[in-house]
């Protein structure tokens, strides 16, 4: 009986590992994207695009540029769920930072609301695929324009 239980446990662990070995649901987004904050340039070289992308998607993190910060805001992916032409992210909440203020307005900023994408919720992002190299963030005030994938060459 113990051998059977051990064998079943080993199969379950192997099955979980095999299920997780494939690419994550948002793998099609991996890489650097430009635009969003502003209209993307029509003829952009890889060097110019990669010098300062607007958003960078990785397996565990989404980095976003802002108009008021010199550094990228890093959001840790809690979940990513893909459906046809769309990927929905939820991010790990950011703890409130005491005394932080917006550099333009001077108003206090706290937690993930200051680091969101201007969407309905600060810890969510909905990405819609327009084409293989163009995406939008519908309903996100901070990214009103489409984003285009940085070319590789």
Reported pTM = 0.75
36 is in which domain, residue-wise?
Answer: 24-149
Asked if pLDDT for residue 151 goes beyond 70, the answer is yes
Number of domains in the chain: 1
Q: Kindly state whether residue 89 falls inside one of the protein's structural domains.
A: yes
DSSP for 40-103, please give it: PPSS--HHHHHHS-SEEE-SSEEEE--SS-SS-EEEEEEEEEEETTEEEEEEPPPPP-TT-B-T
pLDDT at position 108 is 54
Place of tokens 């994938």: 149
Asked if pLDDT for residue 96 goes beyond 50, the answer is yes
Mean pLDDT of the chain, nearest integer = 81
Q: Kindly state whether residue 18 falls inside one of the protein's structural domains.
A: no
Q: What is the percent of the chain where pLDDT is above 90? A: 49
Q: Kindly state whether residue 111 falls inside one of the protein's structural domains.
A: yes
CATH number of 69's domain: 2.40.128
Cβ(72)–Cβ(57) below 8 Å: no
């Amino acid at each position: 009986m113990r051998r059977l239980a051990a064998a079943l446990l080993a199969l379950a662990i192997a099955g979980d590992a095999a299920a997780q070995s494939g690419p994550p649901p948002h793998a099609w987004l991996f890489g650097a994207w430009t635009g969003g904050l502003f209209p993307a340039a029509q003829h952009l070289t890889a060097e110019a695009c990669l010098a300062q992308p607007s958003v960078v998607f990785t397996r565990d993190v989404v980095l976003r540029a802002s108009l008021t910060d010199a550094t990228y805001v890093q959001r840790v992916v809690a979940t990513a769920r893909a459906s046809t032409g769309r990927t929905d992210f939820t991010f790990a909440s950011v703890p409130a930072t005491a005394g932080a203020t917006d550099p333009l307005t001077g108003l206090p900023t706290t937690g993930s609301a200051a680091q969101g994408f201007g969407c309905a919720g600060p810890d969510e992002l909905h990405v819609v695929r327009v084409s293989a190299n163009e995406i939008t963030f519908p309903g996100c005030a901070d990214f009103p324009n489409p984003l285009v994938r940085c070319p590789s060459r």
